[in-house]
Amino acid sequence: MPIRDNLIFKASGLTLNSSTNHVSASVTNLVTNRAEAIDISTVSNGLLVVHVGNAPTGTTPTLAVFFEVADEFGNWVQTSSATSIGGALLTSSGYTYGQISTGYTLGNQGRIRWELTGTTPSFTGVGFSVYGRA
């Protein structure tokens, strides 16, 4: 089977200001123009890139980003690092990235989840991109 890279999810210009949320709840995938779980059925592994365009506000704001897959019972299971993708917490503008799985371990549906800490944290101008490899 030939190896191919493709963009399977893209969202940009987001404001993250809730303590916990995920993209399949209300964020439109600019690749499919739908707000739903990310279809990862055609990929075996991928890369999640997070870009924060503006300096965060609040007191000691931190952003942790995770990638999860749905099991056969509809439970979301974290496949990224325990602390955040790439093991990094964002505290300023910039970017981070992380591999979301290795080998054929991905389920059919995935989502990006984030957690914010600090006092009244807000991250604006946030973009997510998920690239998959068959």
| Alpha-carbon torsion (95, 34, 104, 132), positive or negative | negative
Segment (H or E) for 24: helix 23-26
CATH of the domain at 93: 2.60.120
The pTM of this model reads 0.88
Q: Domain containing 111: what range?
A: 5-133
- Say how many domains are in the chain: 1
As a whole number of angstroms, the distance between CA 101 and CA 117 comes to 25
Q: Determine the Cα–Cα distance for residues 134 and 129; give it in Å rounded to an integer.
A: 17
Report which residue type is found at 77: V
Phi, psi angle pair for 72, to nearest 5°: -65, -10
The tens-digit pLDDT sequence of the chain (134 residues) is 344 458 999 999 999 998 668 887 788 999 999 998 998 888 878 899 999 999 999 999 999 999 988 888 888 888 888 888 888 899 999 989 888 765 556 678 889 999 999 999 999 999 999 998 77
